[in-house]
A and B are shown apart, each in its own frame.
Chain A
Amino acid sequence: MEHKYDAVVVGAGLAGLRAAIELGGNSRVAVISKVFATRSHSGAAQGGIGAAIGNQEEDSWQWHMFDTVKGSDYLGDQDAIEVMAKDAPRTIYELEHMGVPFNRTPEGKIAQRAFGGHTRNFGEKAIKRACFAADRTGRVILDTLWEKSLRAGIDFFNEFQVLGLLMEDGRCCGLVAYELLTGKFHTFHSNAVLLATGGAGKIYQTTSNAFASTGEGLSIAFRAGALLEDMEFVQFHPTGIYKLGILISEAARGEGGILRNRDGTRFMEQYAPKIKDLAPRDLVSRCMTEEMLADRGIDGKDYLHLDLTHLGKEVLDSKLSEISGFAKTYAGIDPVSEPIPVVPTCHYMMGGIATDSDGRVLADDKKAPVSGLYAAGECACVSVHGANRLGCNSLLDTLVFGRRAGKEIRNFIAKETPPPAPTGQADEITGRISALLDSEGSEKPGDILIGLQKAMKDNVGVFRTKESLNAALSVIEGLEQRYQNVKVVDKGCCFNRNLLEAIELGHMLEIAKVIAMGALAREESRGAHFRKDFSERDDQNFLHHTLFRHAGAGTTPEFLKKPVSITRFEPKERKY
């Protein structure tokens, strides 16, 4: 089936919906999403969204910018971070005006709370900067944006899997998608495409991410000529529930929660004397891993305790009710009276499709764009998070840069006309899927995936070495071979999950490889990337972004570098 739109947005999380709302009304916009819009993973964001609105104590965008730069271990691009920090208050008021039900102060203003790495006066002490709606902030923003987009006349194609982009001489002019309900292929011709497909946490064994977070947007853009940037920086959130990875929001520590080891010691006091448990995530996850390696895990096992028992039932009920429910349901623990067993968990990709601050996807290290192609949200790398993202900056990123991408697309489609559809490309894309469906291989997609997830957990986790990364790459290579022989048992055309998982797996293998390659090339430790064999940050040799360019199927991607934008804050030693 053929469709014609001014713009097609892939992904119905916060970045995609915010962009679509910006475009709706004036243009014909389609949003295609592999899950029904309100099932998007933005909805799992719990703790809050950062903005220096100063409702509870003095704050400034400069402080927010500094914290983000320092949090990024000086790898974030400061021009883009300035854009985000300055635009944050407007973003919050805009959300409030749309109807987002933020928690309130006694005076009726938007309430704020403390979050990791957010400080007053350039690092003095923790500050209340996170605007929140209990511990379901992402969920209520997602609902609000979806409801808003229902009014804006946007066409939704729910439960459609994107398969590939249509490219004519380096210009994106549409995409091909697979309708899960019917098994039919759909070609979308459009003047511009925005990828807002989220993260790829499912390449790791234990993750807070949804089953849908398999990163196909990154891989599809990569194959179409986009660059992948800083992929080696994968965030491990300090507090996933032991064994499950279900997230316990940083808001739990923002409200006063404390991490303890087997002796009951508040170990973060030693590592980050000033802000303790509210240190940034990379640091806390690393300290936790150190504690466990030193045999100070609870009962000698590989987990620690998050103690909320002193917060009292009222705070847990009113501000942390979702996570209290998770602890009860999944760990069988009531946080009012018992500590929660937690462990660092794959949570977020700082890296992604290289873009500028208007969402344009970049084709080279000189910032030339891939015409007609845009990206925003977790799948994009602007880069505002650098080597480590601060809590509360991901929702902000999706909304600030989703809106900016929407505006830029509006300008683009006003002056550009789409080229005629390339002949044969759609057939080539659908042919690959049909071949996958018909393949008579012997490998189950699930078995290959388990191998990948284990290799990434064991070798590309919180701590990395040259040996571990080479081991990961060799496992991935073997899995790629096995993937050539993958078998799709379900030959049906209605909600064929078996086929979908085989498609996703191909993308995950590609992304995992780029992550491991980036990590191998970066012989230093910065933010979330820690090399045991190069344990110091090395600004002399590595204060640059990592870029990879696809060099054709079966070949090694090309490695490039890009300088970091440094405008206000020179790199310094990072202490908390």
Chain B
Amino acid sequence: MKTTFIVFRYDPATDARPRYDEYEVEAEGTDKILDCLNKIRWEQDPTLTYRYSCAHGICGSDALVINGNIDLACQKLIRDFKTGGNFIIEPLPLFTVIKDLLVDLEPFFEKYRQVQPFLINSQDPPETERLQDSQNQALIEPSLRCILCGSCTASCPINRANENYAGPAALLRAFRYVFDSRDTATRERLRQLDTKDGAWGCRNMWWCTDVCPKEIPVTKCIAQIKRRIKENKKEDGS
């Protein structure tokens, strides 16, 4: 079928302002949006710029705004849209555009690095594995699906208003370690998260949960951090 792609174009080095270019693409219903962007680039305009790699929703490279919603270009097919074969493709909001659909994710990773995203355990490890309750493993399991695509943070209205807010992706990673029974830095982590730019920055807008391409209940995970902070304070107070 014939489809029309209206694509955001902007090269800060040469363009005074962004523009939208229109391309006609012959596509099947089962083609991914990424396939169509590749077709545009290979057949019509090699200068169109965006990231991609695994092309099946694992590497997290190609989060974009497709017809107004944030999605992975490799995880959405033509047939998933009821827009009469018309597509508008734009870069992730919040982040600075480097070129066309490609944005600067460094601020996103900087927030991520701030939550100490690694296991901290002050005891010497045993000779074999540390034991872990399979229920505890199941509790953190949803957070392990995160592929760092940036969709949640880009969608979050709090992030747009407050650039100091850690944002959902970083908080989700914090959740993963706060609730991992093998981590011994829980209290330190909770103290760090107990700020208006930390867990309390979240106002339960649910946008992160709605856009997550891996269907992670991000808002609920952040809510669990908040509850844990409160419980922790209660324990300390008594």
A39 to B121 alpha-carbon distance, docked (Å): 27
A97 on the B face (CB < 8 A): yes
Q: Given B11, B53, B99, B131, which contacts A41 in the complex, CB threshold below 8 Å?
A: B53
Question: Chain B: which residue is nearest A243 at the CB level?
Answer: B30
Q: Which chain A residues (119-149) contact chain B, with CB distance < 8 Å?
A: 133-134, 136, 139-140, 143-144, 147-148
- Residue numbers in A under 8 Å from B128 (CB-CB): 53, 93, 109
> Would you call B59 and A43 a contact (CB within 8 A)?
yes
B8 on the A face (CB < 8 A): no
Over the window 99-112 of chain A, the binary record of Cβ atoms lying under 8 Å from chain B Cβ atoms (1 yes, 0 no) is 10111111111110
A494 on the B face (CB < 8 A): yes
A330 on the B face (CB < 8 A): yes
> Would you call A150 and B113 a contact (CB within 8 A)?
yes
Q: Given B32, B59, B75, B99, which contacts A494 in the complex, CB threshold below 8 Å?
A: B99
Q: Given A134-B141, A494-B99, A498-B47, are A150 and B118 also a contact pair (CB < 8 Å)?
A: yes
Q: Given A133-B144, A494-B99, are A444 and B42 also a contact pair (CB < 8 Å)?
A: yes
> Would you call A492 and B11 a contact (CB within 8 A)?
yes
- Residue numbers in A under 8 Å from B105 (CB-CB): 36
- Residue numbers in A under 8 Å from B13 (CB-CB): 494
A110 to B32 alpha-carbon distance, docked (Å): 37
A412 to B34 alpha-carbon distance, docked (Å): 44
A96 to B128 alpha-carbon distance, docked (Å): 9
Question: Among A101, A106, A139, A330, which residue has the most Cβ atoms of chain B within 10 A?
Answer: A101
Question: Chain A: which residue is nearest B176 at the CB level?
Answer: A101
- Residue numbers in A under 8 Å from B145 (CB-CB): 136
> Would you call B49 and A495 a contact (CB within 8 A)?
yes
Question: Chain A: which residue is nearest B131 at the CB level?
Answer: A108
Question: Chain A: which residue is nearest B109 at the CB level?
Answer: A36
A102 to B119 alpha-carbon distance, docked (Å): 14
A562 on the B face (CB < 8 A): no
Q: Given A44, A150, A318, which contacts B54 in the complex, CB threshold below 8 Å?
A: A44
- Residue numbers in B under 8 Å from A211 (CB-CB): 52-55
B91 on the A face (CB < 8 A): no
B98 on the A face (CB < 8 A): yes
> Would you call A148 and B98 a contact (CB within 8 A)?
no
A489 to B44 alpha-carbon distance, docked (Å): 11
B152 on the A face (CB < 8 A): no
B153, chain A: closest CB distance, angstroms: 15
Q: Given A39, A151, A244, A322, which contacts B59 in the complex, CB threshold below 8 Å?
A: A39
> Would you call B98 and A101 a contact (CB within 8 A)?
no
> Would you call B119 and A105 a contact (CB within 8 A)?
no
B82 on the A face (CB < 8 A): no
Q: Given A44-B59, A101-B140, are A107 and B148 also a contact pair (CB < 8 Å)?
A: no
- Residue numbers in B under 8 Å from A497 (CB-CB): 41, 46, 49
Q: Which chain A residues (448-500) contact chain B, with CB distance < 8 Å?
A: 488-490, 492, 494-495, 497-498
A318 to B55 alpha-carbon distance, docked (Å): 24
Q: Which chain B residues (102-133) contact chain A, with CB distance < 8 Å?
A: 102, 105, 113, 117-119, 121, 125, 127-133
> Would you call B180 and A101 a contact (CB within 8 A)?
yes
A494 to B130 alpha-carbon distance, docked (Å): 47
> Would you call B52 and A147 a contact (CB within 8 A)?
no
A446 on the B face (CB < 8 A): yes
> Would you call B130 and A181 a contact (CB within 8 A)?
no
> Would you call B130 and A96 a contact (CB within 8 A)?
yes
Q: Given A110, A140, A212, A494, which contacts B144 in the complex, CB threshold below 8 Å?
A: A140
Over the window 437-450 of chain A, the binary record of Cβ atoms lying under 8 Å from chain B Cβ atoms (1 yes, 0 no) is 00000001010000
A99 to B127 alpha-carbon distance, docked (Å): 15
> Would you call A148 and B129 a contact (CB within 8 A)?
no
A33 to B130 alpha-carbon distance, docked (Å): 33
> Would you call A246 and B134 a contact (CB within 8 A)?
no
Q: Given A39, A110, A322, which contacts B61 in the complex, CB threshold below 8 Å?
A: A39
B167 on the A face (CB < 8 A): no
> Would you call A489 and B141 a contact (CB within 8 A)?
no
Q: Given A101-B137, A490-B46, A494-B11, are A212 and B53 also a contact pair (CB < 8 Å)?
A: yes
- Residue numbers in A under 8 Å from B47 (CB-CB): 489-490, 492, 498
A504 to B75 alpha-carbon distance, docked (Å): 25
A153, chain B: closest CB distance, angstroms: 13
- Residue numbers in A under 8 Å from B32 (CB-CB): 330
> Would you call A495 and B125 a contact (CB within 8 A)?
no
> Would you call A99 and B182 a contact (CB within 8 A)?
yes
B94 on the A face (CB < 8 A): no
- Residue numbers in B under 8 Å from A98 (CB-CB): 118-119
A440 to B102 alpha-carbon distance, docked (Å): 28
B57 on the A face (CB < 8 A): yes
A111 to B57 alpha-carbon distance, docked (Å): 26
B169, chain A: closest CB distance, angstroms: 12
Q: Given A43, A97, A104, which contacts B58 in the complex, CB threshold below 8 Å?
A: A43
B88 on the A face (CB < 8 A): no
- Residue numbers in B under 8 Å from A40 (CB-CB): 59
A87, chain B: closest CB distance, angstroms: 15
- Residue numbers in A under 8 Å from B125 (CB-CB): 93, 97
Q: Given A140, A318, A332, A495, which contacts B98 in the complex, CB threshold below 8 Å?
A: A495
Q: Which chain A residues (367-388) contact chain B, with CB distance < 8 Å?
A: none
Q: Given A99-B118, A446-B42, A495-B98, are A139 and B58 also a contact pair (CB < 8 Å)?
A: yes
Question: Chain A: which residue is nearest B32 at the CB level?
Answer: A330
A444 to B61 alpha-carbon distance, docked (Å): 25
Report the 10 A-B pairs with minimum CB-CB distance, sorted nearest first: A99-B119, A108-B131, A498-B46, A104-B134, A446-B42, A39-B59, A97-B125, A147-B118, A96-B129, A210-B54
B contacts, CB < 8 Å to A = 11, 13, 30, 32, 41-43, 46-47, 49, 51-61, 75, 77, 98-99, 102, 105, 113, 117-119, 121, 125, 127-134, 137-138, 140-141, 144-145, 147-148, 177, 180, 182-183
A-B contacts, 23 listed (Cβ < 8 Å): A39-B51, A39-B54, A39-B59, A39-B61, A53-B128, A96-B129, A97-B121, A97-B125, A98-B118, A102-B129, A104-B134, A104-B137, A105-B134, A148-B118, A150-B117, A181-B98, A210-B53, A211-B53, A326-B56, A332-B30, A495-B49, A495-B99, A498-B46
Given contacts A44-B56, A210-B55, 6 further A-B contacts (CB under 8 A): A39-B59, A102-B137, A139-B58, A318-B138, A495-B98, A497-B46
A contacts, CB < 8 Å to B = 35-36, 38-41, 43-44, 53, 92-93, 96-99, 101-111, 133-134, 136, 139-140, 143-144, 147-148, 150-151, 181, 210-212, 243-244, 246, 318, 322, 325-326, 329-330, 332, 444, 446, 488-490, 492, 494-495, 497-498
